Amino acid sequence: MSAGIGFIAAAGVAVLNGVVMITFINQLREQGLPFEDAIVQGALTRLRPVMITALVARLGFLLTALSTGTGAEVQRPRSSSVDSSLRLCSRC
């Protein structure tokens, strides 16, 4: 159950990152840039914010993945699923 919640959280981060990228590309196209140029410019401009968002989420869940206190056996599956999901989504 906890791992399933982790996958939902990771999917939310991935979708939000995609929305940020697509919105910026659409803004560039509205400004008159050709399709290919808008994609290249948008990817170069928004890649860092997208990667930082995924990195911060992974770092936040790293603490729960390494925890050993009370409730850690419930937190660890969610943390590892989010970490692996975000690692995979960052490479897509």
All domains in the chain, ordered by first residue: 2-91 (1.20.1640.10)
Q: Could you tell me the pTM of the whole model?
A: 0.71
Q: Tell me if 58 sits within 8 A of 82, measured CB to CB.
A: yes
Mean pLDDT computed over 40-51: 90
Mean pLDDT computed over 35-44: 95
Q: Tell me if 40 sits within 8 A of 23, measured CB to CB.
A: no
